[in-house]
Chain A
Amino acid sequence: MTMALDPQRQKRRWWRREGVQGYLYISPWLLGFLMFGVAPLIAAFMTSLSKANVFRTIRFVGTDNYSKILTDDPVFATIAGNMLIYVIGSTVISIGLGLILALLLFKDFRGNHVFRTLIYVPSLLVGIATAYLFKQVFRGGEVGLANMFLSVFGTEPVNWLGDSDKPWLALVALILVNIWFTGGTMLIFLAGLKGIPASYFEAARVDGAGPWQMFRKVTLPLLSPVIVFNTVMALIGHIQVFETPLAFANSGGVATGNPLGYENSLGTFVTYLYVKGFVYQDMGYASALAFIMFAATLVLTGLVLWLARRFTAYGDADQN
């Protein structure tokens, strides 16, 4: 092999060129993105502008589905309210509790590792199995574990999931379940804390900062990019909650009862989308719901990023 021949050979075989090869390697993703991302997205948008009847003849109806959902659907109004409460409550738990746990674990002591594992593992188990577990935990009467726990403090058994006078109790139970699944957020906070240079804490200590000042003036600002990241991820995850509300609302098989819970008190975007699209087969309506859910995600994410920019000194510097 002479060196002089090399460039010529690369010129002849076009597929050997770096740029071409790069595209070849990412082509599976690109293809998948077009087939399972872009194409269905466009199709879903077209669907959301149409209505199909039982004979599957499709009629173009413009923005009818959207306007009906937003102005003339009492079920959706209830669900939007549920989601607002659920997403805010759950995100506060994920972020607040996750941060507190990370701060508690951000120090080497014997057994630290055990605590970290115990807190992290449940977050790997989340799904329909834990949804059914917590349905039994929040069972009414003295059998439910939550009521057993409360009885220690002398509280009367609460009918968490079936109280017709207080249907909001079910939503409270749904939010409380998130206490068990903060492990992922905690681990990312912990990694973020470990990334803060020790010299910053040292400087603050030399200047005589107490623990609260240290947290307020050093930890919190330096951790703000991680807080923003975790908050956005938590919001996205909570908006798409599905298994737990479905299991909570489901009384013995999905077919029986209202899959959205008593008086729709457990309805979420995705359970409603599932009911509309796949139980009632109203695909146009369900597609419009999906886009409204997506829009809600974008608005909330934008809000968090805007707030972060306003209230953190380091937000601008770190996110360029």
Chain B
Amino acid sequence: MQDLLERPATTPVPPATSTLKRRRNSRARWELTARVAALSLFCLLLLFPFVWLVSQSLKDTNQYFAVPFEWIPSPFRWENFSDVIFKYDFLHYIGNSLWLAVYAVVVNILSSSFVAYGFSRFRFPGRNALFMVVLATMMLPGQVMTISLYRFYREIGWIDTFYPLLIPKLFGAAFEIFLFRQFFLSLPREVDEAARIDGCGTLRTWWHIILPQSKPVIIVVAVFTFLGSWRELFGPLIYLTGEENRTLPLGLLYFTSPFGSSLPMLMAAIVISLIPPVVLYALGQKYIDKGVAIAEIK
């Protein structure tokens, strides 16, 4: 690519070179410096609010509002975190969010890869048209369906239960089906052919042949599904009305203090809810960068 072409200009130039080459060399170096400087400034701007957040989460209310601002809290109030978790009942919200997210990950991987297997390994009438429908559903705003689904769930008594969040996930999700299908198409068919000749049924081929080869896409789907469930607000806000069933985003939305003004506590709660996504990204980074690139539809 471009960097390949420019490399000759940046490598150390032998002593006896023309002035033209030397000028190009210095120009390339200047350009690189400008690039790094621009990116550094931008990343500094990006990081600012997050560093500020951590700093504010470790203060008491007086320090929080102190002018001029102090970046390093003194003393560090680590209790903010334990207070949020235990006194503000965030342990409960985290628990709800965590099991919902883990459920979503497991179920979504199974159902989406199952459907994607159908789309990638079988020929049947209307296959391409149906796959276009899968892609088209990504365009449809979920809120259009939410209203009638809410009325339906109300009729059958599912409001303030987890069913409205659990049941639809059993049927696969469009984006994940798309990711799995793209990956399955890139897997060699010879292996499943061999398995078929050995008398392996299609179900066992999916489970024993296809899935074990699909670690990269499974990791990407797992991370995206976890994040999607972890931050979901609209569904829980509508379907879960009781305090008992609150998820972490709902806990944040309804964050009010039983003990006076508590912005540092809110900041601590925000930090807590941002930690799992960051850790998850760190674990799956290698695969995620590639996974996002798959999303680039041709």
Contacts and interface: CB of A to CB of B under 8 A. Distances in A.
Interface of A: 18-26, 28-33, 35-37, 39-41, 43-44, 47, 101, 104-109, 111, 115-122, 124-130, 132-134, 136-137, 142-143, 145, 148-149, 179-180, 184, 187-188, 190-196, 198, 201-202, 205, 225-226, 229, 236, 239-240, 242-243, 246-247, 250, 252-254, 270, 273-274, 277-278, 283, 286-287, 290-291, 293-294, 297, 301
Interface in B141-161: 141-152
Interface string B254-288: 11100000010011011001100110010001000
Nearest to B167: A36
A293 B145 CA distance: 12
A23 B124 contact: yes
B168 A149 contact: no
A30 B49 CA distance: 44
A4 to B, nearest CB: 16
A149 B48 contact: yes
Given A26-B119, A119-B42, A278 B238 contact: yes
Contacts of B191: none
Contacts of A250: 253
Interface stretch (B15-23, B211-219, B289-297): B289-297
A44 B231 CA distance: 26
B85 interface: no
11 contacts: A18-B123, A26-B119, A28-B115, A28-B172, A44-B148, A104-B35, A121-B281, A137-B52, A145-B49, A198-B4, A243-B249
Contacts of A126: 231
Interface in B220-259: 227, 230-231, 233-234, 237-238, 249, 252-256
Contact of A109 (B36, B115, B230, B295): B36
- In order of increasing CB-CB distance, the 3 nearest A-B pairs are A32-B171, A25-B118, A22-B122
A19 B125 CA distance: 7
A187 B289 CA distance: 7
Nearest to A23: B124
A40 to B, nearest CB: 4
Contacts of A104: 35, 38-39
B147 A290 contact: yes
A96 B153 CA distance: 42
Given A36-B149, A109-B35, A290 B143 contact: yes
A270 B149 CA distance: 16
B45 to A, nearest CB: 7
B139 A29 contact: no
B36 A119 contact: no
A36 B171 contact: yes
A96 to B, nearest CB: 13
B3 interface: yes
Given A25-B115, A137-B52, A192-B296, A287 B3 contact: no
Interface of B (DSSP majority class): helix
A33 B133 contact: yes
B43 A119 contact: yes
Interface in B1-34: 1-6, 32
Given A19-B125, A37-B137, A187 B115 contact: no
Contacts, number: 259
B82 interface: no
Contacts of A39: 148
A107 B35 contact: yes
Contacts of B140: 37, 41, 294
Interface string B36-72: 1011101101111110110010000000110101000
A32 B170 contact: yes
A25 B114 contact: yes
Contacts of A239: 141
Count chain A CB atoms within 10 A of each CB in B115, B127, B278 and give the residue with the most.
Answer: B115
Interface of B: 1-6, 32, 35-36, 38-40, 42-43, 45-50, 52-53, 56, 64-65, 67, 69, 111, 114-115, 117-119, 121-125, 127, 130, 133-134, 137, 139-152, 168, 170-172, 177, 202, 206, 227, 230-231, 233-234, 237-238, 249, 252-256, 263, 266-267, 269-270, 273-274, 277-278, 281, 285, 289, 292-293, 295-298
A118 B5 contact: no
Nearest to B34: A104
Contact of A33 (B69, B121, B137, B143): B137
Contacts of A283: 147, 151
A30 to B, nearest CB: 7
A225 B256 CA distance: 46
Contacts of A290: 141, 143-144, 147
A159 to B, nearest CB: 16
B139 A297 contact: yes
Contacts of B152: 40, 43
Contacts of A293: 141, 143-144
Contact of A291 (B144, B234, B267): B144
Given A270-B143, A294-B144, 20 more contacts: A22-B127, A25-B119, A26-B115, A30-B130, A32-B172, A37-B140, A41-B145, A106-B1, A126-B231, A129-B274, A137-B49, A145-B49, A193-B1, A201-B1, A236-B141, A242-B234, A278-B238, A283-B147, A287-B148, A293-B143
A110 B236 CA distance: 44
Contacts of B118: 21-26
A21 B147 contact: no
Contacts of B35: 104, 107, 109
B205 to A, nearest CB: 11
